[in-house]
Structure 1
Amino acid sequence: MDSPIRVLHVDDDPDFAELTAELLEREDSRISVTTASGPVDGRERLESTEFDCIVSDFDMPGESGIAFLETVRADYPDLPFILFTGKGSEEVASDAISAGVTDYLQKAIGSEQYELLANRIATAVDQYRTARELERQNDLFAKAQNIGNVGAWEYDIRTDTTHVSDEVLRIHALDTDEHLTPEETLEYFHPDDRPAVREAFLSAVRDGEVYDLQLRMLDASGTQRWVRTRGEPQTENGEIVRVRGILQDITAQKRREMKLERQNARLEEFAHVVSHDIRNPLQVADGQLALAEQTGDPEAFEQAKEALSRIETIIENILTLARHGRTVDETEALDLHDTAREAWETVETGELTLTCDGDGEIAADRERLRQLLENLFHNTVKHGAGATTIRVGQIQPMYTSTRADGNTPSGFYVADDGSGIDEAIRGDVFESGFTTASESTGFGLAIVAQIAEAHGWQAAVTDSRDGGARFEFTEHPAGGLAG
C-alpha cells in the first residue's frame, strides 16, 4: 500500500499538465507523474515505461480521450484509466464506461479537485494491485496443485454445500464444470475403504477430529488410483462450521513403495534359498564326498554329483527369479496362441496336446511371457497326473459394474485336465521352494508369479472345467494396483 504510484497524465495543455503533476505529487507523496502531450505521445511512453495509472483529458485535437482509452484497453485491459475532463455530459460518461474507463472526473476550479483526483488514483491503483496479487496467488496455487497433484476442498456444515478445486475434479477424471457432494465423493472410493473415510469425515463434522488417510479410489474413467485425503475442521465461536481438506494423487508414490516391498520380499526369498535350500544339498555333497574318500564307494560319488547338480539348478532358478522379477517397462502386442506354441516347442510334453481357445493379443514382454508359459507346461508334465490336454485362452471382461469400463478383470488362462491342485495348498503354490515332489526345486510357479507381478497381473489358481488345474492371469485398469 506504500509503494510508489506511477501516473501517466495525457493532456494537450502543457501548463495544465504541469500544474496537475505538481499538485498531485503534493497531495500524495506516493504519486509520481509523467506527462504526455497527447495520445500518440502517451502510447510511446507506455511502450517504454511501466505505469500504475493513466489520467487523460477527453477533448484533445486529432484523437479523443475515449479513442485513446480504447487503444489502451487493447494492450492493457485492466490498467486503471481515469478520464479527467472539462467537458462533462451523460453521453461522454456513458461512452467512457462502455470503453472500460475505471473512473470519470470533471475538471473544476479550485485545489479540491486535485485532492479528489489523488484519492481516486490511489483507490484505483490499490484495487488494481490487490486484484493482480490475488490473480498471482491463484495462479501460484493452481500451479502448486498441478505440480503436487494436490486439490483443495471445503464442506460448509451450515449451508450443506461443498466447494472443490479444479485439481480435485481432475483427480476424479471429471470436467472442471462438474460438482461433487460428500455423498458422491464417497462413491468413488474403493468399497473396502469407504467405511474408513465415511467414519473419518463424520468424526470431523461431529467431534472436530482431524484425519489423514491413504485410500484407493476408482475415478470416472474406471482407473484405480491411490489418494491421500486429509480433513481439518474449522470452528467459529466454539462451533464447528466447516471442514477443509486436501486430496492428493499418490498413485506414483504407492507404486514405488509397492515395487520396493516386492524387491525386499525377493531379497528375503533369496536369503532363505541361500541359507536353507542350498545349504542342505551342500551338506549332502560334503558328507558323500567324505564317505567316498573313506570307502571309495562309487555310489557316494554319484550322490555327491547329484547334490551339486541340484545346487546348480537352484542357482539357475534364483537368477531366473532375479531376471524375470524386474518390473516390465516396455511391452509389445503378442499373439497369445503363437507365443504359447513357441513355448510348447521348448518343453518335453510327451503325449500331451495343446489346444488354443479363440483369438486374441496380449501386451507383454515376449521373453518373459514365453518363460511363464514354459513353466506352466512343465508344471503340468511334472504334477498334472493323468493330464492329456493343456488349454490356453483369453479371459473376456464381464461388465457388471455400474460404471462404464469398470474395474472388471480381463486376461488369459492356462488349464489342464489332470489331477488338479488341492484347494488347501493353492495359497502356497506360488511361494519359492514350495513343492509336493521331492525331486523338484519348487521354483517353477514362483517364477511364474514373479513374471506376472512384473507385468502388473494378478495370478490365481482354481479348477479347470475338466477337473484339472487352471491358472488365471488378470489385468485390472489400475495397472497392477487392484486389491
Structure 2
Amino acid sequence: MSGHGEEISVLHVDDDPDLGDLVAVHLERTHGNLSVCTERSAADGLARLSEHAFDCVVSDHDMPGMDGLEFLRVVREEYEELPFILFTGKGSEEIASDAISAGVTEYLQKGVGTDQYAVLANRIERAVGERRAKTALEESERMLSTLISNLPGMVYRARNEPDWPMEFVSDGAAELVGYSSAALESGDVSWGTLIKDSETERLWETVQTCIAAGEPFEVSYQIETADGETRWMWERGRVVDTDDNGVEILEGFITDVTAREERERELADQRAFTEKLIDSVDDMFYVVGTDGSLVRWNDTVQSVTGYTNEKLASMGIDDLIVDSDHEKLWRIFNETLETGYGTIEAGIETADGERLQYEFKGSLIEDGRGDLFGIAGIGRDITERKRRERELREYRTLVENVGDPMYILDTDGRIEMANEAMAAHLGYDRAEIVGSEPARFMPEADVERGTALIRDLLGDDERTWAAYEMRTISADGTVRINEDRIAPLFDEEGNFDGSVGVMRETTERKQRERELERYETIIEAVGDPVYTLDDEGVFTYVNEAIEQLTGFEPDELIGEHISTIMTGEDINRGSELIRTILSDPTRQNVTFETDIVDQTGNHTPIEIHIALLPAADGEFNGTAGVIRDISDRKDRERQLAEFASVVSHDLRNPLNVVKGRISVARTSGDVSHLEAAESAADRMDELINDLLTLARQGETVGETAMVDLAALAGQAWIDVETGEATLEKIGTATIEADAARLRAVFENLFCNAVKHGRRADGAPITVSVGTTDTGFYVADDGVGIPPEERDDVFERGYTTSDAGTGFGLAIVAEVAQAHGWSVSVTESESGGARFEFTTSSER
C-alpha cells in the first residue's frame, strides 16, 4: 500500500466522456490522495505519458483506433514497471489472459453502482504501493551495494569459531588482504590463519567476553596479507543469529588502520619524547590547576626544590613560593586566568631552606573538550641574573657618583652612555651628549687615535685596555687635556660590542709636568751637577753632570749616601751649615767650599750651594744642592798669588833701581843715572807685557783653522830680534790651531833660543822647525837644557838669566794645553834644546 497522504497521479483513458469524468470524480472523492487526468483515446494517453509522469494508468478496453490491450503493449515497451489496470465493461477470460500476457498489473471488470470505484481506488493504491516498495527496496539494495563496495574494508558474515570461517565476504577483501571474497567464503583461505599468532589468543578472549556480555565487540589486531605484508586491522561486529548447532553467527566490518596505528604510535613516541624532553630541560616545567594545585612537573622541579614527587603531588604553587611573594603570586595567577598569559618574578624556598629567585611565565591550557584545565608554564632561575642586575645597579651608582667622566661608545662609534661627571666636564646635558659623534666634543685627530687604539686592542690578546692623552672641548670652548683609559666591549658570543672610556683631566698635571720638564731642562743645561738628598743624606736625584766630575753615573749614586763622594769631615761641615739654616728662618740657603772624591779617589775642589727641600708638614725633608767645580778658579787664585809674588819681587827690584837712580841723579845732578833708571823701566815694561800675555794664554783658544807651520814660523821669526841667528825650516805640514796663539808659541821659543841658547864656540845659533809623526818641534844647536832642569822650565817665573822674566816657556805650555796638546823638552841632535809638541796620536 502506498503511504497515507502521499499523492498518486493517475492517467485514466476511456472513450466515454461521461464515464471518464464520473470515474475521476469518484476516485478523487473516495481517496483524496488520488489525482486523475482523463484522456479520450489511447493515442492521447500516450501523448500525455510523454509529457507527464504518472504513478498508474487505468484504461478501458473497447476504444476506437487503439484498444486497451494495444495501449498496454505500447506502454510496456516504454514504461516496463508502470502499474497498468485494465478497467473494462466487456470481460472475458481471453481478454484477461491476453492482458496478463501483455503485463497488466490488475484486471477489473466494470460493474454497477459506486462501490466499484472504491475497489478501483484500492487496486490503484495497492499497485502503486507495491511498485513504490519494490523501487525503494531496489534503491536500498543498490545503495547498500554501493556502500559496501565503497567501504575502505570488507563486510562479512562469519561463524564464531576459532578460525572465524566466513559465510559472506564483500568485494573489499581483495584490496584489504590480497585474497578474493570467494577464497575466503569457500574456506580455501581461513581468516584465522591470516591473524598473527601473537594476536590470536588476545583477540579470541576479547571477542568472547563481549559476546558473553551481549555487547558488540571492537578490536584491533595484526594480520599478514597475501604478499607477506603485516597490516593493522580494526574490526567491529556483533552476534546476529545462532544456527541449529548453537554457534553464533557474526556480522561485522573490518578495515585497514595501519596508517592510524602508526600515527598513534608516532604520537605516543612523540608524547614520550616530549615528556623526556620536558624532564631534561634545565628550566622548571609545570602545570597548575585552576585552584593552584600542582598537576604536572618535570624532573627539574624535583631536583631544584629537593622535594620528592609524592610531596610535590600534595603541594600547591604557593607552598613553593616564599610568603613575602604570595600576594603578588595570586594577583598574577588571577590575571593569567583572565587574560590568558602572565609573568612573575618570585622567590622559591627549597626543601633545605635555600632561597632562589625565579621568573615564571604561564599560559592557559584547555583539556580535550575545550574546557579550561589550568596554567602551564616555565620557571627560569634568575638568581644569577638578579645578582648581575644588583651588581649593575651598584656599578651604575658607582659610575654616576665617581668624579671621573665615563662614557660608552656603540659599535658605530657613537656615544651610547655618558655619566653626570662627563656632562659636567663637557658642559652639556646628557641628552645632548648621548647619540652624538665624539668629534663633536674632541679634535678629530684624537678621535682617530682612540679608534686606532681600539683596533690595536682587538688584535692583541695580551692587552685588555690602553691609555692615551686626548683633549676635550667643552660647550664654552674650553680645551682640557685628559688621560683616557679605553677598553673594547664584547657581547656574550665574544663579538665586538663597542668600547668604554674613563677620562681623568690632566690639564694642571700636564702644566706641572711641562714646568717640571722646563726645570729639568734648565738643570741639565746648567752644566753643574745638581742633586737632592733625603733627610738621611741619601741621594734621591742626581743629574747627568755628576758623571764628569765623579765618574759615577746618576743611577749609581741614587740610593747611596753622600759619603760616597765626600769625606766625613766635609759632611760634618755641611750638616752644621744645614742646622744653621734650620735654626734661622731668615736663611734660605748656604754656600761652602769643599772637595769631592771621584771613583779613583782623587779630590776636586768644589763649591756647594745648598737649600732645604720643601716639606708639607714643616719637618726636615732633605736638601737640594748645586755643585760647581772650582778647580780653574783655584788655579787662577794660585796664579794670582804667583803673579802677586812676581809683581812683589820682580817688579820691586827694578822699581827700586828706578827710584834710587832718579834720587841719585836728582841729588848729584849726574844724568848718567837716568840711563840706568830707563833700563830698569824697560825691564819693568817687558815684565808687565809678559805677565799680561801669560794671563791671556790661559783663556780658551779662539777660532781655529788649518795653519801652515813653516809659513807661520817664518812670520814669527821676522817679528823677533834674532841678531845673527838663523831659522831652518825642515819640511812643513798643516795643523788645526788658533794662528795668533801658535805664533806666540814660536815667538817665545825663538826668543828663548836666541837669549839662552848660545853656542859653546860663540858662533851664531841655528833654530830649526820641523814635523814629527805626532806633531812638530822647535830645536836649536845651542848649549841645551840640563836634564835636571827640564821639568822646571815651564814653571812661571823660572829663568836662568837676570834679564829674563821667566814667563816665556810658561806661556808656551799654557797655549799648548789650551789647544789640547802636550809639550816636552829634550836634547836636539846637535846637543841643544828641542821642544816637541804632540798634537795627535799619529799624523
Q: TM-score range by the shorter chain?
A: 0.5 to 0.7
- Residue type of the alignment partner of 1:45: F
Residue correspondences, number: 337
What is the match of residue 393 of structure 1?
770
Q: Distance in 2 between matches of 1:471 and 1:416?
A: 9
Higher CA-based Rg: 2
The equivalences for 1:209-224 within 5 A come to 210-212=563-565, 215=598
Summarize deviations over 1:419-454 as a string: whole Å, max 9, x none: 111122223222333221223233322332333344
Report the Cα distance in structure 1 between the residues aligned to 2:468 and 2:806, rounded to whole angstroms: 78
In 1, Cα distance between equivalents of 2:520 and 2:688: 53
Counterpart of 2:439, as a letter, is R
Cα deviation for residue 33 of structure 1 reads 6.2
1:4 to 2:400 alignment: no
Instruction: Give the distance between the partners of 1:30 and 1:297, measured in 2 at CA.
Output: 102
How far is 1:279 from its partner?
1.0
Q: Distance in 2 between matches of 1:216 and 1:373?
A: 39
Q: Does 1:447 align with 2:811?
A: yes
SS at match of 1:312: helix
Q: 1:365 aligns with which of 712, 735, 738?
A: 738
Is 2:779 aligned against 1:415? Answer: yes
Deviations 1:275-316 (A, max 9, x none): 111111121222233333444445433323322222222223
Instruction: Indicate the structure whose relative CO is greater, using CA pairs within 8 Å and at least 6 residues apart.
Output: 1
Q: Is 1:459 aligned to residue 835 of structure 2?
A: no
Report the equivalent of 1:42: 438
Describe the SS at the equivalent of 1:80.
Answer: strand
SS at match of 1:359: coil
Query: Would the aligned equivalents of 2:661 and 2:677 in 1 still touch at CA under 8 Å?
Result: yes
Question: Any conservation in 2 of the 1:10–1:37 contact (CA below 8 Å)?
Answer: no
Within 2, Cα distance between the matches of 1:75 and 1:433?
69
What's 1:320 paired with? 693
More moved, 420-429 vs 467-476: 467-476
Q: Against the structure 1 CA distance between its residues 36 and 209, is the aligned structure 2 distance closer, same or farther, given a 3 Å change threshold?
A: closer
Per the alignment, do residues 379 and 75 of structure 1 end up closer, same or farther by CA in structure 2, a change over 3 Å counting? same
Q: CA deviation at 1:142?
A: 8.5
Q: Deviations over 1:101-141 (max 9, x none)?
A: 877xxxxxxxxxxxxxxxxx6xx668x99xx99xx79x959
Matched, 1:343 2:716: yes
Q: 1:336 & 1:449 partners in 2: Cα distance?
A: 18
Counterpart amino acid of residue 7 in structure 1: M
SS at match of 1:304: helix
Is the Cα contact below 8 Å between 1:372 and 1:451 reproduced in 2?
yes
Equivalent position to 1:274, from 635, 647, 665: 647
More divergent stretch after superposition (272-281 vs 320-329): 320-329
- Code of the residue aligned with 1:46 in structure 2: it is M
Match status 1:89 vs 2:462: no
The answer to whether residue 790 in structure 2 is matched with residue 426 in structure 1 is yes
Residue aligning to 1:80: 485
- The 1:50/1:466 distance shift into structure 2, 3 A limit, reads same
Question: Structure 2 length normalisation: TM-score?
Answer: 0.33
Query: Is 1:375–2:739 an aligned residue pair?
Result: no
Per the alignment, do residues 145 and 292 of structure 1 end up closer, same or farther by CA in structure 2, a change over 3 Å counting? closer
Shift of 1:371: 1.8
**Are residues 210 and 454 of structure 1, via their aligned partners in 2, closer, same or farther at CA, if it must alter by over 3 Å?**
closer
Q: Deviations over 1:124-165 (max 9, x none)?
A: 668x99xx99xx79x95986885567899xxxxxxxxxxxx9
Aligned identity (percent) is 35
Provide the C-alpha distance between the structure 1 equivalents of 2:402 and 2:758, rounded to a whole number of angstroms.
Answer: 89
Q: Which runs of 5+ in 2 are unaligned?
A: 1-400, 452-457, 459-466, 472-481, 532-540, 566-595, 607-626
CA distance in 1, matches of 2:723, 2:794: 25
- What is the Cα-based RMSD across aligned positions, in Å? 5.4
Deviations 1:70-93 (A, max 9, x none): xx99989984345557x5423x24
CA pair 379-34 structure 1, distance change in 2 beyond 3 A: farther
Q: State the distance in 2 between where 1:296 and 1:144 align.
A: 70
Change (3 A) 1:285 1:6: same
Contact 1:4 1:30 in 2 (8 A): no
Distance 1:446 1:3, change over 3 A: farther
Structure 1: which amino acid aligns with 2:828?
Answer: S
The Cα of 1:379 is off from its aligned counterpart by 0.8
With normalisation by structure 1, the TM-score equals 0.53
Structure 1 letter corresponding to 2:693: T
Offset from partner CA, 1:175-231 (integer Å, 9 cap, x none): xxxxxxxxxxxxxx99xx99xx8xxx9xx99xx9951255489xxxxxxxx9x9xxx
Are the structure 2 counterparts of residues 312 and 125 from structure 1 closer, same or farther at C-alpha, using a change threshold of 3 Å? closer
1:217-249 CA-to-partner distances (Å, cap 9, x unmatched) read 9xxxxxxxx9x9xxxxxxxxxxxxxxxxxxxxx
Residue in 2 that maps onto 1:69: none
